[in-house]
Amino acid sequence: MTTDQTSAVQMTNDHKVGAQRKPTLAVWKFASCDGCQLTLLNCEDELLSIAGAVDIAYFPEATRAVAEGPYDVSLVEGSITTPHDAERIREVRAMSGTLVTIGACATAGGIQALRNLTDVYEFRSIVYAHPEYVQTLDRSTPIAAHVDVDLELRGCPIDKGQLLETLAALLAGRKPRIPTYSVCVECKKRNNVCVAVAHGTPCLGPVTQAGCGALCPSFSRGCYGCFGPQDSANLPAMTDRLRAQGMREPEVVRLYRTFNTGAEAFRAESARVATHPAAAHPAASTQTTRGSAEEAPA
């Protein structure tokens, strides 16, 4: 239900820099860990600029002062997991000009979307003495499954630079530069050595959307896919490579089922591998890698 990014830009055209009234900013929390909101608070060097550019009208994590809506820009963290939240997000949408979802929970359902794969009511009866008092939905869903979203910022947590870029773009009435290509682009821009090729480390970078600045590979770790699938992710081909690097099917499934387990490309591929663990990727089963030996000796 994500609308085109240009509509987000148009909505702020009447309060560009220099206009009399500062745009108002609200920050909302749904099912989440608060880490993405903390990313905003962690903008220490830029907080004064932010406070100078916008009126922070509603941000319970930071201040008890509350200004009445409607709000020009709403940042929404978290997924929808309760009937109450499914109602509340509609109210937030109604009182927001531009609605930006922030983080893996808000954009893909988060780690709590693991419940989508099993019976949440059974969990509830095991965990709580009186499960009848706990109202919960059987699925964790992204905000865009409930209301129109103008822009999504991926990540677990989101990237501070992308958040600042988004705010700056909304203030200037321009399109935010949020690339949808792979993490590999960021590795190469940083002159990182490819951990998959040079170290044999399984890495989800090729199928994961950029935005983190290739954080994990910069520390010689494989990418965990925090930013969800890139725009052209070829998951079956990724699975083939993870297998070639020695990963077994349960490990592959587990790798796809983390913070973005609910993102469609990851969800579909993890389901495929889990259902048919022995069946190779349709194309891979009929051909071998051309050229010489697959892996050179270490």
Partner 1 sequence: MTKPGNVARTVMLDGLQELIDALLGRGYTVFGPTVVDGVIDYRPITSVTQLPQGWGDVQDNASYRLRRRDDDAVFAFACGAQSAKPVLFPADELLWRARLGGAEPEIERAVDDKPAPPYAFLGLRSCDLAAIGIHDRVLSSRQFGDTHYALRREDTLIVAVTCTDPAGTCFCVSMDTGPVPRSGFDLAVTELYADGPHRFVVEAGTPRGEELLDQVASTAASDEDLVAAERVGAEAAARMGRVLDGTNLKDLLYDNTESPVWDDVASRCLRCTNCTLVCPTCFCTSITDASDLTGTTAERHRVWDSCFSEEYSYIHGGAVRESGRSRYRQWMTHKLAAWHDQFGSSGCVGCGRCITWCPAAIDITAEVAELRRLAEQRQRPQEARP
Size of the site for partner 1 (CB under 8 A): 65
Q: Burial-class residue 65 by CB neighbours within 10 Å (0-12, 13-18, 19+).
A: exposed
Q: Which of residues 191-230 bind partner 1 (CB under 8 A)?
A: 191-194, 196-200, 203, 205-207, 220, 230
Q: Which of residues 40-59 bind partner 1 (CB under 8 A)?
A: 46, 49-50, 52-53
**Token representation of residue 265:** 């490309």
**With respect to partner 1, which residue has the nearer C-beta, 189 or 276?**
189
**With respect to partner 1, which residue has the nearer C-beta, 118 or 285?**
285
Q: Which of residues 242-281 bind partner 1 (CB under 8 A)?
A: 244, 281
Q: How far is the CB of 25 from partner 1 (least distance, A)?
A: 12
Q: Cis peptide leading into 157, omega within 30 of 0?
A: yes
Report how far apart, in Å, the C-alpha atoms of 141 and of each of 8, 137, 164, 200 are: 22, 9, 26, 35
DSSP state of 11: T
For partner 1, the binding residue among 232, 250, 276, 279 (CB under 8 A) is 232
Angle between helix axes 249-256 and 235-244 (nearest 10 degrees) is 130
For partner 1, the binding residue among 177, 221, 248, 276 (CB under 8 A) is 177
Q: How far is the CB of 176 from partner 1 (least distance, A)?
A: 9
Report how far apart, in Å, the C-alpha atoms of 57 and of each of 68, 71, 77, 121, 182 are: 7, 8, 16, 37, 35
For partner 1, the binding residue among 34, 55, 165, 249 (CB under 8 A) is 165
CB 169 within 8 A of CB 196: no
Q: How far is the CB of 2 from partner 1 (least distance, A)?
A: 15
Q: How far is the CB of 294 from partner 1 (least distance, A)?
A: 6
* Alpha carbon distance, N-terminus to C-terminus of the chain: 47
Give the angle subtended at the CA of 178 by the CAs of 226 and 206, to the nearest 5°: 45
Which residues of this protein are in contact with partner 1, per CB under 8 A?
A: 16-18, 46, 49-50, 52-53, 164-165, 167-169, 171-172, 174, 177, 179-182, 184-185, 188-189, 191-194, 196-200, 203, 205-207, 220, 230-234, 236-238, 240-241, 244, 281-284, 287, 289-298
